[in-house]
Amino acid sequence: MNKFIDSQEKGVFGEFVYMDFCLKKKINAVQVNQFGRDVEIFTHKKFNIDVKTSHKVKNWTNKKYRPYVSYDVVYIDENDNSIYLYPDLNSPLRELYYGHKIANLDKAYKDYKCRPSFTKIQFNPIKNFKSMILKQSTKKKIRFVYRVITHEWKGYADNIPGKNWKNFEATIFFNLNFDWINDTPILDKAYVFISNEMNEYPLQDAEKRQLNKGIETVLNWELFEKNYPNRIFSSLDELIDFFS
């Protein structure tokens, strides 16, 4: 068994093989690794692809973001030292390449070791927010943090207050919901933390998973929302006015 088969490296390797195949077939594809997809393919429209790498299954069943994302399987067959592609039903590659051998396993792995990834093209969902706020703000040293929620999720961000908040005058945390119909993040709420007030904000001991990240204390979000409603904004205009 090849050493990467049961490791975390498997998924990265599968994405490399997928992108390499698209390049060789002149398929217009970019690697993004965000918003529930690994790759975006452009034909008559844009297709979102979550690349799954497996040596057990050829069709992926856990399709969290369907119908907005297609789940293409890069199937590793060690018996004949080959890699096959099994595109999802809604994938633009389904008709031409279902069950298609896309690479020799040993050669693909050697290529991967020499060049393990393609350039990622990622969208920064708060780029415009940052420029508009900094243009109007009297505070110029602002830390911008965000989370994009693409599916039903319960919890809070771990990195508030974080380790380097003292280097800034304020921290803005953007909570963004992903609009799957329009395929874009949209603002839910923005939370403002003024650095010289940070010691006043309610904190709580970190949970085990947070301690494993080296985080000792985190914001008590429920108490913060209750006690500091004037630091929570639901529109960009309100947020800009606050910093003007």
Backbone angles phi, psi at 145, to 5 degrees: -130, 145
Nearest to 75 by CA among 126, 133, 21, 33: 21
pLDDT tens, residue by residue, 38-66: 999 999 999 999 999 999 999 999 999 99
Look up the CATH architecture of domain 9-114. 3-Layer(aba) Sandwich (3.40)
Rounded CA-CA distance 1/79 in Å is: 10
Beta carbons of 71 and 52 less than 8 angstroms apart: yes
Backbone angles phi, psi at 121, to 5 degrees: -115, 105
Query: With b meaning 16 or more CB within 10 Å and e meaning fewer, what string describes 43-61?
Result: eeeebbbbbbbbbeeeebe
Helix (H, G, I), strand (E, B) or coil at 94: helix
Rounded CA-CA distance 143/90 in Å is: 40
Rounded CA-CA distance 116/90 in Å is: 28
pLDDT of residue 43: 96
The H or E element spanning position 242 is helix 236-243
Helix (H, G, I), strand (E, B) or coil at 207: coil
Nearest to 109 by CA among 7, 219, 195, 28: 7
Domain boundaries, the chain: 9-114, 127-243
The two three-digit tokens of residue 130, written as one number:
């940052």
pLDDT tens, residue by residue, 150-174: 988 776 778 788 878 899 999 999 9
Stretches in the chain below the pLDDT threshold 70: 1-6, 155
CA distances from 49 to 35, 73, 99, 122 (A): 11, 10, 17, 14
pTM of the model: 0.87
Question: Distance between alpha carbon 36 and the CA centroid of its chain, in Å?
Answer: 7
